[in-house]
Amino acid sequence: MTDSITIRRPFDSHVHLRQGAMLRAVTPITAQKFFSAIVMPNTDPPIDTTEAAAAYKEEIMAAVPEGSTFEPLMTFYLTKNLSPAEIAKGFSGEASAKVYAVKSYPYGATTNSQWGYRSILEAKDVLREMERVGMPLMLHGEVHLNDHDEEEDPYEGERLFVEDTLPRLLDAFPRLKISLEHMSTAIAADFIEKNGAEGKLVATITPTHLLYDRRQAFSGGYRTLIHMKPLVKRREDRERVRALAQRGLPFVSAGSDSAPHPESKKFSSCVTFGVFCSPAALEMYTGVFDELGALDKLENFLSINGPRFYGIQPSEERITLIKKDWQVTEPVITSEGVKVWPIGHVQHGLGNEVIRWQVKR
């Protein structure tokens, strides 16, 4: 039995660090374990200029604990304001922050998605420029509205995207680098296994979609701590996504999608989408790979595939995880006294959740 594993310091290909007091509370948690991360741009207002990305990077850097070498990698939000000219400017790193990728949110589908296009296919000029300069597109791969502006069934959004939108996008922009974020369905896993290619078409997986399915989401009332987009799906979907991770393919990596929200918004009749997982994301991934008998694939998934896609060097530092049970017992509390509840929490999770691995200190 393996009870210890040492890997290069991991990389989070998808994290929300927010702004203000929330940012100051959650940034150190990511910085403590990950050497770098792709930071999502769905702030309010959204990050869609190089200057805004530089200012946002500065705000994050001010929250990184002293002595940490953590580097946040910035992204643009694909708003209607994002111009082709800004793509080349951001990607070349002018204004003191390089912008590594563009994130697309389907209008209305998730937290702060009100600035997105209805369909990614409407953003042709920006996509053409991204294809030209080699800047990756990160996809929130769900169809949210149909042609009559009616909401689709949220359990079907990813399937519709993968079956219809994604093939059209790949046809129209054959050289565009694409990452399908937070895969949640067997259909997406099948598509990526068949069509994925290093440096070209990649995908990320969250701990939430590896650990939970919709039965747990509805067990004993609706479990709002695991309420996110894409919604967790059927057990079979979760198993298929796990099987993809287990294969250790070079185009599949960890993107936690840690997305903190204040307690008042998570325990509300109008609950927000987003799972706060950074306090235990690394440990949860390790637990899943252990269960799958795939600990030998963990380092590529956590520490190598993500950096490679974004053109940066994997970390030379190492981190050791040991097999030892623990539980998330406290919420994170911001300087304004706002509680932020993590996934897996003993009180508000799904009951007696034990995390089997921990980082060796």
Binding test (CB under 6 A) with ligand NCD, winner from 9, 16, 24, 33? 16
State which of residues 90, 274, 342, 349 lies at the interface with ligand NCD (CB under 6 A). Answer: 274
Is the preceding omega at residue 331 within 30 degrees of 0, hence cis? no
**Residue 206 Cβ, how far from ligand NCD at the closest point, in Å?**
8
CB nearer to ligand NCD: pick between 276 and 289: 276
Distance of CA 103 to the CA centre of its chain: 11
**Local structure of 41: helix, strand or coil:** coil
The residue at minimum Cβ distance from ligand NCD is: 274
- Phi-psi category of residue 353: left, alpha or beta, with phi > 0 → left and psi -120 to 50 → alpha: beta
| Interatomic CA distance for residues 167 and 173, integer angstroms | 10
- The β-bridge relationship of strands 318-326 and 71-77 is unpaired
Query: Which is nearer to ligand NCD, 8 or 348 (by Cβ)?
Result: 348
Residue 190 designated active-site: no
259 touches ligand NCD by CB under 6 A: yes
Q: How far is the CB of 16 from Zn ion (least distance, A)?
A: 6
What's the min distance (Å) between Cβ of 18 and ligand NCD? 8
| 3-state helix, strand and coil shares in percent for the chain, rounded to the nearest 5 | 35, 20, 45
Asked if 225 interacts with ligand NCD (CB under 6 A), we say no
Strands (E), 170-269: 178-180, 201-205, 252-254
Give which of Zn ion, ligand NCD, none residue 33 binds (C-beta under 5 to 8 Å, depending on kind).
none
For the beta sheet containing 355-359, the strands, ordered from the edge strand earlier in sequence to the opposite edge, are 4-8, 318-326, 355-359
What are 165's two structure tokens? 């939108």
Q: Please report whether residue 209 would count as binding ligand NCD according to CB under 6 A.
A: no
Smallest separation (angstroms) from ligand NCD to the CB of 325: 28
Q: Where are the beta strands (DSSP E) in the chain?
A: 4-8, 11-15, 36-39, 71-77, 99-104, 137-139, 178-180, 201-205, 252-254, 318-326, 332-333, 339-340, 355-359
Task: Work out whether 257 is an interface residue with Zn ion (CB under 5 A).
Answer: yes
Phi, psi of 159 (to 5 degrees): -60, -45
Q: Which is nearer to ligand NCD, 140 or 233 (CB)?
A: 140
Minimum distance, C-beta of residue 194 to ligand NCD, in the bound complex (Å): 25
Please select the residue that binds ligand NCD; options are 36, 42, 184, 278, rule is CB under 6 A: 42
Name which of residues 100 to 119 contact ligand NCD (CB under 6 A).
110-111
Query: Which one of residues 12, 86, 237, 257 is an interface residue with ligand NCD (CB under 6 A)?
Result: 257
**Per-residue contact string for residues 138-157; x = within reach of Zn ion by CB under 5 A:** --------------------
**Distance (Å) of CA 181 to CA 44, 120, 241:** 21, 14, 12
204 binds, among Zn ion, ligand NCD, none (CB under 5 to 8 A by kind): none
- Of 12, 48, 257, 290, which residue is the catalytic one? 257
Q: Is 273 in the site for ligand NCD (CB under 6 A)?
A: yes
> What residue ranges in 243-299 does DSSP mark as E strands?
252-254
Q: Which residues bind ligand NCD (CB under 6 A)?
A: 16, 42, 110-111, 140, 228-229, 257, 259, 273-274
**Residue positions annotated with a catalytic role:** 257
